[in-house]
Structure 1
Amino acid sequence: MIGKNKKMKKTVGERVFDILVHGILLLCFLIILFPLMYVVAGSLASAKELAENKFLIIPKEPTLDVYKYILSTKTFPRSIAVTTLVTIVGTFVNLIMTCLTAYPLARRNLLGRKWLMLGVTFTLVFSGGLIPTYLVVNSMGLIDKYAALIIPGAISSFNLVLVKNFFQEIPESLIEAAKIDGSSEINTLTKIVLPLSKPALATFTMFYAVGHWNQFLQPLLYLNDSKKWTVQILLRQIVMLSSTSGEDDGMMPGFILPMMSLKLAVVVVSTLPIIMAYPFMQKYFDKGVMVGSVKG
């Protein structure tokens, strides 16, 4: 009872430290929040209102004209479908290849393990470069194919190292017990290792998905057919070519497209799907990233 009634009192120094920490966190939150609010508010504001206000948080007369313009383009639904397909298939390939590579590297009795890890870590610092990569993709006949957005980046060396470290923390006794029971390596991976690695897999699923969704340079280099453009390339094209509304844009006659609002709306459209998916994965992030990064 004495322990419950007697609360630990903080010293003046501890209170000052707590206030300082909370103040810094609040400042960081505001630094992140206000630009996001400006982007959303600017995409809903008129060109006149944006010109009159250097920093806009709440538009007085919000309008969805810019979003109507973006959504009215004939290629927008197709580009969204293409990006979604590439993101889903690419993320699935990334996870399969990463897990199949990380699992044997996590086994300490693997022959030549140190040399294989040296090769993986070497690619973290050095890469072939843009032109050699393009020549390889071209020689494989992947130009103007969606596979060019998936196969060259099938494995991320950085993510591979983290997943390997996560697999190493699974008790070796579980794997040995499965082996005694006659379990194959693939069965051990799918039935024991992967179920115990859900936080890591969820985290790297998000990492890979964000990477595929935000791909810009690869589609720009490898996709020549405008019908195969991803949403990032399409939105760039909209910003570059749309100084005024066209005849088929579905906008009112004489409507002048505000370019700044268009650019801000493009940011919202391109990031909204990932922002909406993040809360569903957030609970896995701390454990999934930190546990795999503790040991080498």
Structure 2
Amino acid sequence: MVTTDPKSLAARLDRPVQPRRSALMKDSRGYKVFRAVNVVVLLAVVVVTLYPFVNIVAQSFSSEDYISTGQVNLWPRGFNVDTYKLVVSDEAFWNSYFNTVLYTVTATAISIVLTTIYAYVLSKHHLKGRGLLVGIAVFTMFFNGGLIPNYVLINNLGMTNTIWAVVLPNAISVFNLLVMKSFFESLPKELEEAAAIDGLSSYGILLRIVLPLSKAVLATMILFYAVANWNSWFSAFLYLDRADMFPVTVYLRNLIYGATSATSVGAVETDSVHISANIKAVTMVLTVLPIVMVYPFIQRYFVSGVMLGAVKQ
């Protein structure tokens, strides 16, 4: 029979616990070099990425003389807010802004619904004709009808000068479709089988089981579609002839090609010549501002939403 001295046991309990050897191990020199190089490279990428945006913001608050002579770098020169006052006071700008919000919300909602349904169907390996459906989707990544046939099709469908000409032609992105398909394939099949045993239909399984587990990938797809639709301008420029239906990107395009001409459709009538040099920078800043404000709230889902479907068990 083994006995333990209470005093020695108390002494052992009071003694500080020695950390494991693995916790005492220091980083190797190679790993330290890797981390240092990694930090330097990432900082360089951040600088290269942020410099153009900061430069545009600085130009938007600068006067024409400093901009035309190339003296504006990262800080405004000849502080000027007249252009902001002019653009903000223009009714056409706010009408274009409203159109952009309407087009973006509508197109993103349609794209998410269609992409989710299509991706969920393609994730079912037992589906007959699945290979054909995948092939049709992938085929459109490499081939399309061309500009003139697309315009003739939209015109014959009677969608020119309507919101549908902007939101429907590019409703499904094949890249986003394949990402969401991979995510659905990574979900445990046992969950759907258990839900089916409990009496849920295919629609019930999708709405009550699959979608609640897909918040990360859905947020990522919403971000992708929203940014693409917000920045899109060519579809509106091609299919819309009415200035009151132009999105803000077409408004910006007209400013870029006619900043000093009041005859350009959607262009701002300049009250003074000195604001023409930074009017494009001002409109760029006002156009990108909503995306910059929304992105931080969604970006935390970005990596998880893209990567979850790429890891197989």
Could you tell me the TM-score, scaled by structure 1's length?
0.92
SS in 2 for 1:197: helix
Match of 1:217 among 234, 251, 266: 234
Q: Partner residue of 2:82?
A: 65
Match of 1:2 among 19, 26, 29: 19
Match of 1:162 among 165, 179, 185: 179
Q: Partner residue of 1:145?
A: 162
Q: Partner residue of 1:91?
A: 108
Match of 1:235 among 248, 252, 275: 252
Q: Partner residue of 1:259?
A: 276
Match of 2:148 among 116, 120, 131: 131
The whole-number CA distance in structure 1 between the counterparts of 2:23 and 2:259 is 69
Match of 1:207 among 224, 238, 262: 224
Show the 5 A alignment for 1:189-200: 189-200=206-217
1:257 CA drift (Å): 3.6
Deviations 1:108-156 (A, max 9, x none): 1111111211221111222222221111111111011011011111211
SS in 1 for 2:91: coil
* Cα root mean square deviation, aligned: 2.1
Whether the 8 Å contact between 1:245 and 1:257 is mirrored in structure 2 is no
Aligned pair in 2 of structure 1 residues 140, 67: CA closer, same or farther (>3 Å)?
same
Aligned pair in 2 of structure 1 residues 17, 64: CA closer, same or farther (>3 Å)?
same
The whole-number CA distance in structure 1 between the counterparts of 2:176 and 2:146 is 20
The whole-number CA distance in structure 2 between the counterparts of 1:73 and 1:9 is 62
The whole-number CA distance in structure 2 between the counterparts of 1:50 and 1:227 is 32
The whole-number CA distance in structure 2 between the counterparts of 1:116 and 1:250 is 51
Whether the 8 Å contact between 2:236 and 2:250 is mirrored in structure 1 is yes
Aligned pair in 2 of structure 1 residues 6, 229: CA closer, same or farther (>3 Å)?
closer
Whether the 8 Å contact between 1:106 and 1:167 is mirrored in structure 2 is yes
1:49 CA drift (Å): 2.1
Whether the 8 Å contact between 1:244 and 1:257 is mirrored in structure 2 is no
Whether the 8 Å contact between 2:63 and 2:77 is mirrored in structure 1 is no
User: What is the percent sequence identity of the aligned residues?
Assistant: 36
Aligned pair in 2 of structure 1 residues 281, 6: CA closer, same or farther (>3 Å)?
closer
Deviations 1:203-260 (A, max 9, x none): 00011111111111100000001111111111222333331789xx798x6x324333
The whole-number CA distance in structure 2 between the counterparts of 1:72 and 1:66 is 10
Q: Partner residue of 1:78?
A: 95
Structure number, greater radius of gyration: 2
Aligned pair in 2 of structure 1 residues 10, 244: CA closer, same or farther (>3 Å)?
same
Could you tell me the TM-score, scaled by structure 2's length?
0.87
The whole-number CA distance in structure 2 between the counterparts of 1:83 and 1:5 is 56
SS in 2 for 1:153: coil
**Count of residues paired in the alignment:** 291
SS in 2 for 1:260: coil
1:23 CA drift (Å): 1.0
Aligned pair in 2 of structure 1 residues 192, 113: CA closer, same or farther (>3 Å)?
same
SS in 2 for 1:213: helix
1:17 CA drift (Å): 2.1
Match status 1:43 vs 2:96:
no
The whole-number CA distance in structure 2 between the counterparts of 1:257 and 1:193 is 57
